[in-house]
Amino acid sequence: MADKKIRQRVESLREQINAHNYAYYVLDNPEVTDSEYDRLLRELTELEQQYPELVTPDSPTQRVGAKPLSEFAEVQHEVPMLSLGNAFSEEDMIDFDRRVREVAGQKIIDYAAEPKLDGLAISLLYQDGVLVRAATRGDGHSGEDVTLNVRTIQAIPLKLRGRGYPPVLEVRGEVVMPKSGFEKLNQQQKEKGEKTFVNPRNAASGSLRQLDPRVTATRPLSFYSYGIGLIEGFAMPDTHSKMMQQLKEWGLRINPQSRVVQGVKGCMEYYQQLAKIRNDLPDEIDGIVYKVDNIALQEKLGFVSRAPRWAIAYKFPAQEEMTRLLAIDIQVGRTGALTPVARLEPVFVGGVTVSNATLHNQDEIDRLDVRIGDTVIVRRAGDVIPQIVSVVKSRRKGKPRRYHIPDKCPVCGSAAVRYDDEAVTYCTGGLYCEAQRKEAIKHFASRRAMNIDGLGDKLVEQLVDEGLVNHVDDLYKLTVGQLMQLERMGKKSAQNLVDALQQSKNTTLARFIFALGIHNVGETTAQTLASHFLTLDNLIKATEEELVAVPDIGPVVAQNVVTFFRQPHNREVIQQLIDAGIHWPAIKARKRDELPLAGKTFVVTGTLSSMGRNEAKAALQELGAKVSSSVSKKTDYVVVGENPGSKASKAEELGIEILEEAAFLELLKKYS
Ligand code: I6G
């Protein structure tokens, strides 16, 4: 049997936990860390396990029931849960206000304003301060008993705070799923291979209508109160806003954006303010609700059909609309990525007319199972690119075929491939494809590739825009006369560029391979390929099997290399480059383990004045060294430039030989 001390401790733990919940959810001002909160909850759980007679239904440990239901029971609402009339324009708001003023006989009306949350309406019944029943709105007269699920929502108190609450209190409000929780949930669903939700409202609704409360308990649901239904034994305050403050004191969360505004002017200003921050709010909202603040005036206004005459929902432009998918086009990006774009029957959504939406990649098309001719739901929120969120399958006519991204680039005709570990399909005609032209030339000219001095990004743009260069080989056909026609290009600069181009022809095979811009072939991989295959011809002829047999070359790179050289257009450009006079010193065939630095591990740290760190790494690798990113007992040498940081001190600690820049250059000279 639990003694008095234990009972008091249990009571105190419950009070502390409830107070922390209140600070966190209602006041939005957490008082303790998560770990402190968990510690209190754990202590309470342990005491209740030890003394089961102390467990009460409203204990914070009792949120999740153990058994799934077979169905939800029906609940009759004693006070019907009505809907709200809508306003879609300023005129509608002016009309609403005029009707209110006529009944009130007043010039300016105070309105309680708050965001209209996009969730699902719920009724919570508290008897003597204890949550005894929660029900959905249903048809307004009867809904479903979702008490066990609602008990799992942490923002909903199982017991009201303080003492002054009425014996019967029915609170109404909205259950929502915050946007961040929705994104996380969908990510988890995807990872588990389960169905994703199209928007936070559907996710909230699906989660609340689970028969197993243990599932609901894992869903990030939240709640805000917006009014009351039944109330007994309590003298109502004179305004709605005071009543809401009262709910807050009893421990119920209210929307922190709620305000009282004056007249239509105040309503319009509030609307504009909220419209501006709409996308930054934690929860989805679809408009603003205005309620006559004065309760006596509310009573005087009464109801029309199924809606109060004292309240209205001023809707924001819808962020989701239905339209038809007319076609799917492929856009080729600057890096060669093929992106499917949905061409839509124009539709007004999120405040603009939308006729295109991104479909991202093949996985997204498959996930949506979207087909040409389908009726789809498009969503445009804020400045984000419009998305297709779902297909209205019931409206599909006939049996349209599934869509597949083409296996040829629509811009240049080269093969379009999707590598094993990527979602994106890429064009492999990097050197030739018009869509990738500017990026390919910028990369080719860059310092670590062909190192064409003076050919910066702006000049590349100019040369392509003026039609002087289409492919990289055209660079070597440029004349001083042609260059001088460009804006801000004098004779001297033109001559310097032609000289720099001439100089760049003398390169290394590794730099040349890197300059080609093959997908996933960086400097180090280019160096590995050059050292292994020795000549460009050998590399061009290499099969995937031969490539994967090279140390450090994986199947993805092997596939990229083979596909790149298989494109006739790429080979033509390469031939033109060789014909223009690009050359490199022959590489002597040396077995890897015969290379002078074979078996030695280097780490390069700090800034070298004579070359970049990648260049230094490539030079070492060419000599057979292994280059690692961290210093360990296995490291043989640490090359140290300016501002080396912790790697140099670690090397000293471990007694590893340190090479300053001069000594490093000496070493390269000795073995090259
Ligand atoms: O559906 C609703 C959402 C929000 C409401 C509502 C509300 O106030 C912020 N208020 C009432 C009075 C009703 N429905 C009927």
Per-residue pLDDT tens digits for 16-49: 999 999 999 999 898 889 999 999 999 999 999 9
pLDDT of residue 587: 84
Distances (CA, A) of 130 to 134, 230, 606: 12, 15, 65
Confirm if 328 and 373 have CB atoms less than 8 A apart.
no
| Amino acid letter, 500 | A
Distance from C-alpha of 17 to C-alpha of 20, rounded to nearest angstrom: 5
Q: Above 90 in pLDDT, residue 190?
A: no
Q: Above 80 in pLDDT, residue 592?
A: no
pLDDT of residue 174: 98
Per-residue pLDDT tens digits for 269-322: 999 999 999 989 999 999 999 999 999 999 999 998 889 999 999 999 888 999
pLDDT of residue 70: 87
State how beta strands 337-349 and 320-332 pair: antiparallel
Give the list of residues 6+ apart from residue 169 with CB closer than 8 angstroms, or none. 125, 126, 160, 228, 230, 231, 232, 234, 250
pLDDT of residue 469: 96
Confidence of residue 198 (pLDDT cuts 50, 70, 90): confident
Residue 199 CA to ligand 1 centre (angstroms) = 20
* DSSP tag of 22: I
Q: Is the CB of 119 under 6 A from ligand 1?
A: no
Distance from C-alpha of 630 to C-alpha of 603, rounded to nearest angstrom: 7
pLDDT of residue 442: 95
Q: What angle do CA 275, 281, 286 make, to 5 degrees?
A: 50
Q: Above 90 in pLDDT, residue 382?
A: no
pLDDT of residue 341: 96
Higher per-residue confidence, 134 vs 66: 134
Q: Is the CB of 536 under 6 A from ligand 1?
A: no
pLDDT of residue 312: 98
Beta strands per DSSP E along 488-631: 601-605, 626-628
pLDDT of residue 613: 81
Q: Is the CB of 157 under 6 A from ligand 1?
A: no
Q: Is the CB of 288 under 6 A from ligand 1?
A: no
Per-residue pLDDT tens digits for 468-516: 999 999 999 999 999 999 988 999 999 999 999 999 999 999 999 999 9
Question: Which domains, and CATH codes, for the chain?
Answer: 4-54 (1.10.287.610), 98-263+281-313 (3.30.470.30), 320-395 (2.40.50.140), 427-585 (1.10.150.20), 592-671 (3.40.50.10190)
Residue 522 structure tokens: 């960086």
Residue 545 CA to ligand 1 centre (angstroms) = 67
Distances (CA, A) of 141 to 77, 83, 136, 150, 615: 5, 11, 10, 20, 75
* pTM of the predicted model as reported, rounded to 2 decimal places: 0.68
pLDDT of residue 488: 87
Q: Which residue has the tokens 């260069």?
A: 469
pLDDT of residue 610: 82
pLDDT of residue 589: 76
Residue 255 CA, closest ligand 1 atom number: 9
Residue 206 CA to ligand 1 centre (angstroms) = 21
Distance from C-alpha of 575 to C-alpha of 471, rounded to nearest angstrom: 12
Instruction: For 196, list phi and psi in degrees, rounded to 5.
Output: -95, 165
CA nearest neighbour of 543 among 534, 552, 531, 555? 555
pLDDT of residue 551: 75
Nearest CA to ligand 1 atom 9: 226
Confidence of residue 178 (pLDDT cuts 50, 70, 90): very high
Q: Is the CB of 311 under 6 A from ligand 1?
A: yes
Distance from C-alpha of 663 to C-alpha of 672, rounded to nearest angstrom: 14
Chain length of the chain:
672
**Known catalytic residue: 116?**
yes
Residue 289 CA, closest ligand 1 atom number: 9
Per-residue pLDDT tens digits for 399-429: 999 999 999 999 999 999 997 678 899 999 9
Distance of CA 515 to the CA centre of its chain: 33
Per-residue pLDDT tens digits for 81-136: 999 999 999 999 999 999 999 999 999 999 999 999 999 999 999 999 999 999 99
CA nearest neighbour of 338 among 414, 442, 389, 443? 414
Mean pLDDT, the chain, integer: 93
Confirm if 614 and 527 have CB atoms less than 8 A apart.
no
Confidence of residue 600 (pLDDT cuts 50, 70, 90): very high
Residue 97 structure tokens: 């206000």
Residue 557 structure tokens: 């790179």
Average pLDDT over residues 550-574: 92
Q: Is the CB of 286 under 6 A from ligand 1?
A: no
Angle of helix 457-465 relative to helix 437-445, nearest 10 degrees? 140
**Ligand 1 pocket, mutate which of 111, 116, 120, 205 (most atoms under 8 A from CB):** 116
Q: Above 90 in pLDDT, residue 573?
A: yes
Per-residue pLDDT tens digits for 324-339: 999 999 999 988 999 9
Region class of 521: left (phi > 0), else alpha (psi between -120 and 50), else beta: beta
- Which range among 71-80, 387-396, 412-421, 597-606 shows the weakest confidence by mean pLDDT? 412-421
Residue 84 CA to ligand 1 centre (angstroms) = 6
The residue annotated as part of the active site, out of 116, 159, 291, 617, is 116
Per-residue pLDDT tens digits for 349-365: 988 899 999 999 999 99
Q: Is the CB of 115 under 6 A from ligand 1?
A: no
Q: Above 80 in pLDDT, residue 552?
A: no
Residue 121 CA, closest ligand 1 atom number: 1
Nearest CA to ligand 1 atom 8: 226
pLDDT of residue 565: 96
State how beta strands 637-640 and 601-605 pair: parallel
pLDDT of residue 335: 86
Quickly count: other Cβ atoms within 10 Å of residue 249's Cβ: 14
Residue 296 CA to ligand 1 centre (angstroms) = 18
Give the list of residues 6+ apart from residue 449 with CB closer than 8 angstroms, or none. 443, 511, 514, 515
Q: Above 80 in pLDDT, residue 547?
A: yes
pLDDT of residue 617: 84
Residue 173 CA to ligand 1 centre (angstroms) = 7
